[in-house]
Amino acid sequence: MAKCRRCKRIPRHARICLLIAAHNEELILDSTLKSAISAGMCRHHIYVVDDNSSDNTYNIAVKRLGKSNVHRVKRSGKALALYKAIGRFRIKKNYTWLHVADADCLFSRNYFRIIRRDLDPNKYCAAIGVVQSLRGGWISAYRTCLYAFGQVVNRRIESFLRVIPVMPGPTSIYHTSILSELDFFARSVTEDFDMTLQIYRKKLGRIQYIKTAVIYSQDPKTVKGYYKQISRWSKGYFQSLINHHIGLKPSPIDVYLAYQIFKTLFFATEILVLFPLRVTIIGSGQLLLIMVASDFLMMLTFAVFGAIYSKRWAVLLYFPAFFVLRAVDMVVFIKEMLAVSFKRLLRIERKLATGWSVADRRYKLTFEAIADVSKK
């Protein structure tokens, strides 16, 4: 571990490092690293593992952190790249906590100071902060509202019930004592969700929710990029559910995730099947008007709530587009559920794609976006 006079004053139980896995992240990586340092993380304790990038990612990381804190590996995929870096940087020996983050993040001003202050190793084996969207166009506006509802309502309920279903890629914090228990070779394209389920299945401990530690993440700018991202998320979601036999055991996380799937499928059935069927059978224009108005008010409430929570009133300008993205969400969810389920049922085992792609999802940040986060 690199020497740092300032960090020597940090108690052992709060000693934490930041590890970022990166592949072709030259557009955003330097902003992420500068943001982490400004947020209270010493550069000596920031590490980057470069998953064989073909751009300038490696040189950017070395320039900011030094060669000793950057490790390049053969194309491995995020989970395996992290595993290799944990060994290379001797993280289990030198630190009490490991913070894993994506390469497209901006940390709020006091993020790591809050994390060190609030982490409780006596009660928890892992922790997460709050994810918000960076300012952007219509997709970012939609995500802003999703995250607002998810963090203010869902996450608090999940924390209380001890069923936080996923440690998000931008803010996943592990007590280093459990790293040797985690399988980084799991067959899932969403390593964050798989790792979370491993914590529950292996009974490693509880997950802490630190609701004042905020991190900002980029969203895709195009429908194509959005579609690719949520397809990957949905595919990995169902791969992990099957891998860990979720829904087949009487545990809180099984019940909660089964409920989430049922709720999503019921809503999709209501919108795509039952609603048109009722209108066709009854033939009532009034019924159609009532149902459309109800759905409109529900989405408007969702948008207003997101705008108030994020203090971004421009979100409301994109409100009509939310119906389109919601439909895309439902179609992708059902498509990937059927695809993954049928492949497992027919025992069609295909090797998971090595590595991950950030095409259509990364863009260089504007000064205004960086300045906006630095105020918070």
pLDDT score for 7: 66
* Backbone CA torsion sign across 1, 7, 182, 48: negative
Q: What single letter denotes the amino acid at residue 304? A: V
Query: Tokens 């803010």 map to which residue?
Result: 171
Give every strand in the sheet of 70-73, ordered side by side. Answer: 70-73, 46-51, 16-22, 97-101, 172-175, 124-133, 206-217, 105-107
Output the pLDDT for position 338.
93
Alpha helices in 89-206 (DSSP H): 91-94, 111-118, 138-149, 155-161, 191-201
Domain boundaries, the chain: 12-233, 252-345
**Length of the chain counted residue by residue:** 376
Backbone φ and ψ for 72, nearest 5 degrees, come out as: -100, 135
**pTM for this structure?**
0.90
Q: Which two tokens stand for residue 256?
A: 């909660």
Predicted pLDDT of residue 240: 94
Strands 46-51 and 70-73: parallel
Q: What is the CATH number of domain 12-233?
A: 3.90.550.10
Displacement of CA 258 from its chain's centroid (Å): 20
Whole-number Å distance between alpha carbons of 145 and 216: 14
pLDDT of residue 74: 93
Residue 145: Cβ within 10 Å count: 25
One digit per residue, pLDDT tens: the chain, 376 residues?
555 666 666 666 669 999 999 999 999 999 999 999 999 999 999 999 999 999 999 999 999 999 999 999 998 889 999 999 999 999 999 999 999 999 999 999 899 999 999 999 999 999 999 999 988 889 999 999 999 999 889 999 999 999 999 999 999 999 999 999 999 987 788 999 999 999 999 999 999 999 999 999 999 988 999 999 999 999 999 999 999 999 889 999 999 999 999 998 888 887 777 777 766 777 666 767 777 788 889 999 999 999 999 888 989 999 999 999 999 999 999 999 999 988 887 776 655 555 566 666 677 765 456 556 656 6
CA 228/CA 95 separation, integer angstroms: 35
Residues 148 and 143: their CA atoms lie apart, in Å, by: 8
